Amino acid sequence: MSDDPYAILGVERDASPEQIQKAYRKLARKLHPDLNPGNTEAEEQFKNVSRAYDLLSDPEKRARFNRGEVDISGVERPRHRYYRDVSEPSAGHAYESDAGFADFDTDDLLSEIFGRRNRADVRRRGADTRYHLDLDFLDAVNGTTRAVTLPDGATLDVRIPAGTSEGQTLRLRGKGEPGRNGAPPGDALIAIGVRPHPVFRRQGDDIHFEQGVPLHAAVLGGRIAVSAPFGPVTLTIPKWSTSGTVLRLKGKGVPRSDRTAGDAYVKLLIKLPDKPDPELERAIAAWHRAE
């Protein structure tokens, strides 16, 4: 896998956010697993494209990557420390003066050493550990369970609640660094990223998407099957619906913690038959002449 997100998306390093989004959407439509069932190569490429977009669509992450501070996954790169970092005293150091060692005080030094030793015996809560986890859009909306690999190679199963959003941080209590001298461990903090979906868009707790409608259903009305984020649903089309008509599916949006949910909004797009229909053409021609 390339470690250059710009190369993965096929954009220049000075590409605008709009160019980056356009490149991602083009690749997502081509590689999304829903459009390539059973194609493991396309699935892996889609993951790489999503990882690259997650980095470059975030101005802060992109800037840090450009400075070499993080890798393509957003993980901190180790900072090299040089002899200069630890050997040169800073201004105002406790043992620095123009007199060399004239201000050296043995009692002060011993006091500091023993003070450090006493502090080592203090109970101290373990440090929190931080992770980043990218989710597919539908996994974030519907909830799932994902495994996170810890630095020691162990894996931690993380339950993703339904309705999890971009930028949300999940806290797993007691899954951080162990405490000192019997103190409790820290927590694991997992920052969530959500990959865009080629069809569905989220606005708050509402979901928006477009749906093709046969011409006869748009004119005469009817019921059609729709693939919504949570599964198939039947949508009632009113008579004389035009392209651009928006219908609401109440309570079919993103689940909330209080057991309610947002709404789904479906924008209708009239779809003509795949093949020319002479009878339909004659009927339209007759209607047009009468009109």
Q: Which of these, 232, 231, 235, 200, lies nearest to 217 by C-alpha position?
A: 235
Task: Name, in order, each residue with C-beta under 8 angstroms of 128's C-beta and a sequence gap of 6 or more.
Answer: 176, 177, 186, 187, 188, 189
Mean pLDDT by 10 residues, the chain (291 residues): 85 92 89 80 87 89 86 67 40 44 50 53 84 93 88 82 93 88 90 94 96 93 92 93 95 92 95 87 86 75
Domain ranges of the chain: 1-74, 126-198, 201-290
**Is 126-198 the same fold as 1-74?**
no
1-74 CATH, one of 1.20.1440.230, 1.10.287.110, 3.40.605.10, 1.10.260.40: 1.10.287.110
From start to end of the chain, where are the E strands? 129-135, 144-149, 155-160, 169-172, 188-194, 201-203, 206-214, 222-228, 231-237, 246-249, 264-271
Cα 10 to Cα 6: distance, rounded to the nearest angstrom:
6
Would the pTM count as exceeding 0.95? Answer: no
pLDDT digits (tens, 9 = 90+) for 54-95: 889 988 889 888 888 888 877 776 554 433 343 344 444 444
CATH architecture assigned to 126-198: Sandwich (2.60)
Q: Which of these, 19, 29, 24, 26, lies nearest to 9 by C-alpha position?
A: 24
Model pLDDT, residue 1? 55
Model pLDDT, residue 29? 83
Tokens of 282: 């004659």
Model pLDDT, residue 247? 96
Model pLDDT, residue 176? 85
pLDDT digits (tens, 9 = 90+) for 110-151: 555 555 555 556 788 988 988 889 999 999 999 999 988 776
201-290 CATH, one of 2.60.260.20, 3.90.1150.10, 3.40.50.150, 2.60.120.590: 2.60.260.20
- Contact by Cβ (8 Å): 59, 65: no
